[in-house]
Amino acid sequence: MQVTTSIPGQDDLIEEALTSLPSKGCIIDIGTGSGLAARRFLEVGWVVTATGFDMDAYQKNDEALPKELHIVSDLDICNMDAIDDASMDAVWCAHVLEHVSDTGRALAEIRRILKPDGWLFIAVPPFKHEVVGGHVNTGWNIGTLMYVLANAGFDLTNGRFVRHGYNIFGMAQRGPGPLPKEELRRANGDLETLTKAGRFPKGLEVKQGFNGDLPSVNWKWNCAPKSIEVSRLMLASPGPVPKMRIGFFIPWITQGRGGTENVGQMMANAMAGRGHSVVIFTFDNNNGPSLWPLDDSIELVHLSEHDDERADQMMVVEVASRNLDLLVGLHMNRTFLRYVRCAQKVGLPIVLSEHIDPRFPDWIGTFPADERVMAFSGATLVHTLVNAFVPTLPDFLQSRMRVVPNTIREPEVLAKPGKEKEVKYLLTVARLVPRKNTSRLVEAFAKLARDFPDWKLRIVGGGPEERTLREKAQRLGVANAIEFLGAQEDPYAFYHEADIFVIPSFFEGFPLTLCEALAHGIPAVGYEVCNGVNEQIIHGENGLLAQGRDGADNLPVELHKLMASRELREQMGQAARETFLARFSNTVIHTAWEEIFSEAYEIGPIFCNSSKKDIAEVRLSEFLWGKAQLSDAGNKKA
C-alpha cells in the first residue's frame, strides 16, 4: 500500500505544479511526510530531495520512500545548511509553516537555496480558531500569505494563488529579496510600499485593510482538478464574495430536530455570520418558533403545510416580496419540485441541497428517480454530500453537482478514548428505526461482552424499535451491559465519555452523529458499504470499516481490535480529531457552502422551456408551466 495524503485538494495542486513547470530540474520537498509530492515529482523525471523530521517512520515495509530520492533526515527549515545556495529549481513546501515559529527565517532559507529564477510552491492551512498541537500559527488566507511572501522578498508579479480544499496555495519566484529595512515601517503604509515596489501580483490593488479572504488571485487551472469534493468556484478575477440576500427553504425547523433541519440552521446561521441577509421559509400552520437557535438577523417566514395550488401561490408571494438574490432548498423528496417551481416563477437561481443517500427515497417510493431528475433539471446547482452520489444523476446534470460534506457544532470538551478507566463505553447515537440497523450492533456486542466485562454499550436515541432491542438484549444475556438512554436534546455529554463510536447503518447520506464523534476525537467503526460512513472513516487511520452485510459480518471483529487496545484507541482518536479539523470543521465547510451559493448567484436561474431537448427538462417545463397556466385560468375565473 502506498501512503497518500489525506489533505483534501492537495493531489490537484501537485498536478498543477507539475504542469506549470514542464521543464524538469532539481526540487526539494520540505516536510515530505508520506512522500506524496516527492513520489509524484520523481515519477515524471525530477531530481528530488526529500526532507523532514522522523523520516525513519516512513522507511519500513512497502511504505518506504523510493531509493531514488535523496533523503535528508531531520532538516530544520530554519537552518538548511545541508543544502547548497541556489541549488534548487523549485521548492515544494506543503503544510509546514504552521509548525514554524520563525516564519521569516524559514522563508529566507527557502530563498537562499532557490536558483534566481526558481519557484516556490507553498501550501498552508486556512485560518481556524482551534488550537492544534504542533501548529504555532492558526492559519492563513490568500492575502496574508501574499503579504508574508512579498515581505520576505519573493517575486509575486507572476504569482498565482488559490483556496482549494484545505489549502491556501501559492506559486511565487525567488525574487530580489526583502526591501531595505528603512523602507518598511512594520506598521501602516507597508502594504502600499510593497505594492509600489511591484512585489504583489500584477493588477491586484493591495492597500491598508484590504480583504485578504480571496478565493483566488491570477489563478487559472492548467490541469483541471479531479477532486469533486472541493468547491469548484475559482473566480477569474480577485475580489470578496458578494453579499447576498439568501432565502432558505428548511421544511420543518419549527416542528422537528432532524438532520436536515440541523444542517439548514447551520447553513443559515453561517451565512448570516458572514454578512449575508438571510430569510428562512418553513412549513408550519401554527407559526411556531424555530426549534434551533437562529441568528437575531434572520427572518423566519411560515408557509402553509398544504401542498396545493393556493399554497404554492402564497409561497411565491412570500418569496417575491423579500427581494432575494438566491434560494436554497433543503430536503430529500419531491418537495424539491415545489422549490424549483417557486424559483422559476420569481426568476431566482436555486441550489437544491440533498441530505440522504438518493437511492433510499426511490426504493421506498417517496421520491422516484425520474421526479428527482425533473427537479434537479431546474436547479442552478445541486449540493450533494459525497462523491458516490454524483453518478446517480444523468451526465447532463453531473456538471451542476457540487460535493460538500456537512459539519456539526464543534465540541468544547474532547473525549479521551485512550484513558485507562474502570468502565469503558461503546456509543451509538441514532433513531431506533430499522434502517439504522441498531439490532446488528446489539448482536455484535453480545458476541464480545464475555471477553470484555469492563465495557458497556450506550444507545442514545428513541424510536419504535426500542422495545424489540431491549427484548433482544435480554435474550442474548447482555441487558445489564446495555444502557438505553433515550432521545437526548444534547448528546455531547455522552461523546465526552465514549471510547469507541459505532454506526451500524447500511444507508446514510452524511451521518452527523459520526461527524460529531470524529470532532470529539473518538475512533469509529462502521460498515464499508455505507456511503457517508466510508467517506468519514479512513480504515486503519481514524477507525475501522467492517466488511459484510447479508453474508459474513465482521463488525464484532473490527470492534474487538479497538476494544482490546488502549494504544490503538488513543492513536485513532487523535487521527479522528485531525480528520474533522482538516475536512469537516466549521471553517472548511462554511467556506465551501458560501462558494456554492456565490457561484449559483453568479450563474443565475436556469429556465426550462419546451425548446429544451432533454426529456427531463421538457417534463419539468410541462410540470412548471402547466400548473402555472391552471393557476392563471383559476385566477381569471375568480
DSSP 527-545: ETTSTTHHHH--BTTTEEE
Tell me the CATH number at 258: 3.40.50.2000
Is 184 within a domain? yes
Q: Which residues of 113-129 are buried (b: 16+ CB within 10 A; e: fewer)?
A: bbbeebbbbbbbbbbbe
Are 458 and 371 in the same domain?
no
- The Cβ-side half-sphere exposure at 174, using a 13 Å CA radius, reads 18
Q: Which residue has the higher pLDDT, 340 or 335?
A: 340
| pLDDT more than 70, % of the chain | 87
Q: What residues contact 309, with CB distance under 8 A and at least 6 apart?
A: 627, 630, 631, 634
Are 541 and 430 in the same domain?
yes
Cell output for 11: 493531489
Is 593 within a domain? no
pLDDT of residue 257: 82
Are 155 and 98 in the same domain?
yes
- CA-nearest of 151, 89, 158 to 119 is 89
pLDDT of residue 602: 86
* pTM of structure: 0.59
Residue 591 phi/psi, 5° resolution? -65, -40
Q: Which residue has the higher pLDDT, 22 or 555?
A: 555
- The C-alpha atoms of residue 590 and residue 116 are separated, in whole angstroms, by 40
Are 251 and 399 in the same domain?
yes
Decide which of 217, 236, 266 is a domain's last residue: 217
Q: Which residue has the higher pLDDT, 18 or 510?
A: 18
Residue 398 has pLDDT above 90, yes or no: no
Cell output for 168: 491556501
- The Cβ-side half-sphere exposure at 113, using a 13 Å CA radius, reads 25
Are 394 and 432 in the same domain?
no
> Which band of pLDDT confidence, cut at 50, 70 and 90, is reported for residue 386?
confident
Q: What residues contact 179, with CB distance under 8 A and at least 6 apart?
A: 153, 193, 194, 197, 199
Are 299 and 252 in the same domain?
yes
Question: How many domains does the structure of the chain reveal?
Answer: 3
Q: Which residues pair with 161 in a beta bridge?
A: 170, 217
Helix (DSSP H) and strand (DSSP E) numbers for the chain: 20, 21
Residue-averaged pLDDT of the chain: 85
Cell output for 539: 480504515
| Long-range Cβ contact pairs of 133-137 (< 8 A, separation 24 or more) | 134/98, 134/99, 135/98, 135/99, 136/98, 136/99, 136/100, 136/101, 137/97, 137/98, 137/100, 137/103
Is 379 within a domain? yes
Average pLDDT over residues 448-452: 95
What three-state secondary structure class fits 239? Answer: coil
Q: Which residues of 237-262 are buried (b: 16+ CB within 10 A; e: fewer)?
A: ebeebeebebbbbbbbbbbeebbbbb
Is 597 within a domain? no
Are 608 and 566 in the same domain?
no
| Residue 408 contacts residue 512 (beta carbons within 8 Å) | yes
Are 79 and 196 in the same domain?
yes
pLDDT of residue 224: 62
Residue 625 has pLDDT above 50, yes or no: no
User: For 450-459, 485-494, 545-554, 622-631, which range has the lowest pLDDT when averaged over its residues?
Assistant: 622-631
Residue 628 has pLDDT above 90, yes or no: no
Average pLDDT over residues 125-140: 80
Q: Which residues of 294-303 are buried (b: 16+ CB within 10 A; e: fewer)?
A: beeebebbbb
> Which band of pLDDT confidence, cut at 50, 70 and 90, is reported for residue 228?
very low
- CA-nearest of 510, 507, 531 to 584 is 510
Average pLDDT over residues 24-40: 88
- The Cβ-side half-sphere exposure at 263, using a 13 Å CA radius, reads 29
Are 74 and 213 in the same domain?
yes
pLDDT of residue 56: 63
Are 429 and 458 in the same domain?
yes
pLDDT tens-digit series, residues 581-610: 888 888 889 988 998 999 899 888 886 543
- The C-alpha atoms of residue 405 and residue 474 are separated, in whole angstroms, by 38
Q: Which domain holds residue 122?
A: 10-217
Residue 231 has pLDDT above 50, yes or no: no
Are 569 and 608 in the same domain?
no
Is 377 within a domain? yes
Average pLDDT over residues 49-62: 66
Tell the burial category of 24 from Cβ atoms under 10 Å away from its Cβ (0-12, 13-18, 19+).
middle
Average pLDDT over residues 187-214: 85
Residue 44 phi/psi, 5° resolution? -95, 5
> Which band of pLDDT confidence, cut at 50, 70 and 90, is reported for residue 239?
very low
Is 227 within a domain? no
pLDDT of residue 613: 39
- CA-nearest of 388, 309, 366 to 342 is 309
The DSSP 8-state label assigned to residue 288 in this structure reads P
Residue 83 has pLDDT above 90, yes or no: yes
| Long-range Cβ contact pairs of 64-69 (< 8 A, separation 24 or more) | 65/32, 65/35, 65/38, 65/39, 66/35, 66/39, 66/42, 68/42, 69/35, 69/38, 69/42
